[in-house]
A and B are shown apart, each in its own frame.
Chain A
Amino acid sequence: MTTTIQTLEPAERPLQIMSSRLEGELLEVSMGPQHPSTHGVFRMNVALDGEIVRKLKPVFGYLHRNHEKIGESTSYLGSMPYTDRLDYFCSMTNNWAYALSVEKLADIEVPERAEYLRIILAELTRLQNHASLLGFLLSDMGAWGTPLMYAFREREKILDLFESLSGSRMMCDYMRFGGCRVDASADWLAQAKKIVERFPKFLDEFEKLIVENEILIARTQHVGKLSAELAISAGITGPMLRACGVNYDIRKVDGYGIYPRFKFRIPLGEHGDTYDRLMMRALEMRESIAILKQAFEQIPAGPVMNPKVKIRAFRPPVGEAYGRIEAPKGELGFYLISDGSPNPYRYRVRPPSFINLTILEDLCLGHTVADVMVILGSVDIVMGEVDR
């Protein structure tokens, strides 16, 4: 499918909901950086007319820590643990994206078992990211605690799996270019399978909890509508793009790793509002479970690391590569230029949550302040990745 749209009218501004009877000035409010629902240190300069948002300017950079420059001054191996710290909810997919681009750069093959393990871990990451996103989103809406705790209970099980495999719950640092660091035991796979098989039960329950809730419907439907044209031209990716009805999933488009071997569907939204973005996550989790079940059945025995790859003093040939994957939040890409030295000459991250956040103003205009939090929650940002 094609995804290029050249020109676009300026984003349509919603009608004035409240006539400005008082002819008053706009009230400028700085929301954040220390605000409980900005998901980290993120600030929005909001100009308000009563309660209606008239202008919104996102301010990034409070968590900037020079990730790309550090990547250029450490070895290829040394950047791997730093990628965990980008989107700290999904360190496995960050590792994979980076490993994929180094593998492209140096033309490295990955053993079969490692490919399967990568898919298992990436889909488990998607499950726990989406589950906790739903919890956070409801928490932003005022459902304090309960849904978030239910989601975190499930997430905890997956994090325990990560811990027993890689040694750490969140900063996994598990993948290497040429495979994975350690092999998964049969016990681990059996345990993971058990957790995945029980996951739909949680989803059913969670959906019962939220889907029909009138308050949730009132707060999310027709709120923060994003048109497909704007989404495409702004470079939005991931569930947010698919919620507008654009069928674009890098797992299908690129077919990186061994994704073409798996049967799964891409859920698509229709309206592009907050409710669609929310339900998109619930539907994607079901597809992830389908992928995981296939992977557990098919996973072969064998090595998990390409023995030809020298991890230490790794010098890829001169060249450049862009490796991208469908991270839970959207397209995560690493662009590397090698000049033949042990450090990359250029190391660039294409973070999904940063680019998804750029259209926040278009989503929020005309809505109330309370809706801003819900819309921001549905964008799914992690500041570690936005500011890098």
Chain B
Amino acid sequence: MVGTGILKGMAVTARNFVGSYFEKERLITVQYPEERSPLPENYRNFPILIYDTDDAEAGLRCVACKICEKECPPQCIYIVKSEDKKPDYMGKPQFYPAVFDIDISVCMSCQICVEVCPFEAIKMDKVFELSTRERFDALLQRKDELSKSNTYYHNVHPIEAAEVDAKLAEAAAKKKPAAPAAQSPAVTSPKPSPT
């Protein structure tokens, strides 16, 4: 009989409509600004720079090696290497980025900078509400905006951050016998705290 197919389809629609009041599986809408679905651990958005200790300048892990700048597919990273050196998180004198800009209007969140960084200095953030009223400067993030503490990193990616800390602690432990004189105790002291 003509029309039975349509009626069968209507039955499915009705079941979904009524079911959406009882079955959670059928109603998956999240009322966004009021409700939020949790972000998964691996979620990535835009890069941030990690620093140890409380000082964003002194504790910055980045040594301005420019690998990420070179590997970034859309070329959104701009780094100027410093003239002088400062002790890094392991106490070794290293260059630091005098300028570190990321144009997040160009960045495509591919995570390649994170993968190629040998110093665990650049990681991905989870902040996604970044709309601005202004197109150019507001989307160009400078070093001070990009720098985030290790505690912040632990908050956004708890599992990954713990792994990174373990790896760095291991590397520091390996280095220690070679250079027993720790030059800056302020830098080495927070090492055991996250573990």
A, B in one complex: yes
CB nearest to B126 among chain A residues = A167
Q: How large is the interface on A (under 10, 10 to 19, 20 to 34, 35 or more residues)?
A: 35 or more
Most buried by A among B9, B28, B41, B67: B9
Would you list which residues of chain B between 40 and 79 have a CB under 8 Å from chain A?
40-44, 67, 71-73
A312-B67 contact in complex given A165-B42, A171-B109, C-beta closer than 8 Å: yes
Residues of B in contact, count (CB < 8 Å)? 32
Partner of A167, one of B4, B73, B111, B116: B111
Bound complex: CA A224 to CA B8 (Å): 26
CB nearest to B124 among chain A residues = A167
Give every chain B residue within 8 A of A208 (Cβ-Cβ). 8-9, 11-12
Give every chain A residue within 8 A of B67 (Cβ-Cβ). 312
Would you list which residues of chain A between 77 and 98 have a CB under 8 Å from chain B?
77-82
**Does B42 contact A209, Cβ atoms closer than 8 Å?**
no
Partner of A77, one of B15, B25, B43, B112: B112
CB nearest to A153 among chain B residues = B28
Give every chain A residue within 8 A of B178 (Cβ-Cβ). none
Asked if B183 is at the interface (CB within 8 A of a chain A CB), the reply is no
**Does B4 contact A78, Cβ atoms closer than 8 Å?**
no
Bound complex: CA A173 to CA B28 (Å): 26
Asked if B140 is at the interface (CB within 8 A of a chain A CB), the reply is no
Asked if B115 is at the interface (CB within 8 A of a chain A CB), the reply is yes
Asked if A215 is at the interface (CB within 8 A of a chain B CB), the reply is yes
Bound complex: CA A171 to CA B42 (Å): 13
Give every chain A residue within 8 A of B111 (Cβ-Cβ). 167, 173, 181
**Does B73 contact A163, Cβ atoms closer than 8 Å?**
no
Give every chain B residue within 8 A of A182 (Cβ-Cβ). 42
Would you list which residues of chain A between 245 and 278 have a CB under 8 Å from chain B?
none
Q: Nearest Cβ distance between residue B166 and chain A, in whole angstroms?
A: 17
Give every chain A residue within 8 A of B110 (Cβ-Cβ). 80-81, 171, 173
**Does A311 contact B42, Cβ atoms closer than 8 Å?**
no
Give every chain B residue within 8 A of A153 (Cβ-Cβ). 26, 28
Asked if B16 is at the interface (CB within 8 A of a chain A CB), the reply is yes
Bound complex: CA A165 to CA B2 (Å): 47
CB nearest to A176 among chain B residues = B115
Bound complex: CA A65 to CA B160 (Å): 35
Q: Mark A148-164, 1 if CB is under 8 A from B, else 0.
A: 00100100110010011
**Does A311 contact B2, Cβ atoms closer than 8 Å?**
no
Bound complex: CA A173 to CA B71 (Å): 15
**Does B12 contact A209, Cβ atoms closer than 8 Å?**
yes
Bound complex: CA A167 to CA B8 (Å): 40
CB nearest to A311 among chain B residues = B115
A214-B124 contact in complex given A78-B71, A167-B111, C-beta closer than 8 Å: no
Bound complex: CA A208 to CA B5 (Å): 8
Asked if B13 is at the interface (CB within 8 A of a chain A CB), the reply is yes
Bound complex: CA A156 to CA B40 (Å): 14
Bound complex: CA A74 to CA B108 (Å): 15
**Does A311 contact B109, Cβ atoms closer than 8 Å?**
no
Would you list which residues of chain B between 101 and 117 have a CB under 8 Å from chain A?
108-112, 115-116
Asked if B180 is at the interface (CB within 8 A of a chain A CB), the reply is no
Bound complex: CA A163 to CA B124 (Å): 14
Bound complex: CA A167 to CA B6 (Å): 41
Q: Mark B151-170, 1 if CB is under 8 A from A, else 0.
A: 00000000000000000000
**Does B115 contact A78, Cβ atoms closer than 8 Å?**
no
**Does A210 contact B124, Cβ atoms closer than 8 Å?**
no
Q: Nearest Cβ distance between residue A85 and chain B, in whole angstroms?
A: 8
Partner of A171, one of B28, B41, B108: B108
Bound complex: CA A211 to CA B43 (Å): 38
Q: Nearest Cβ distance between residue A384 and chain B, in whole angstroms?
A: 13
Asked if B33 is at the interface (CB within 8 A of a chain A CB), the reply is no
Asked if B3 is at the interface (CB within 8 A of a chain A CB), the reply is yes
**Does B42 contact A146, Cβ atoms closer than 8 Å?**
no
CB nearest to A202 among chain B residues = B25
**Does B71 contact A167, Cβ atoms closer than 8 Å?**
no
**Does A163 contact B43, Cβ atoms closer than 8 Å?**
yes
A213-B115 contact in complex given A168-B109, A205-B12, C-beta closer than 8 Å: no
**Does B5 contact A81, Cβ atoms closer than 8 Å?**
no
**Does B8 contact A212, Cβ atoms closer than 8 Å?**
yes
Most buried by B among A74, A157, A211, A213: A213
What are the nearest 4 A-B pairs in CB distance? A212-B5, A81-B110, A164-B40, A167-B44
- CB pairs A–B below 8 angstroms (12 shown): A74-B73, A77-B116, A80-B110, A81-B112, A82-B73, A168-B43, A173-B111, A208-B11, A209-B9, A212-B9, A213-B5, A311-B116
Q: A212-B4, A213-B6 are in contact. List 11 more A-B contacts (CB 8 A).
A: A156-B28, A164-B43, A167-B111, A168-B43, A173-B110, A182-B42, A208-B12, A209-B8, A212-B8, A216-B5, A312-B67
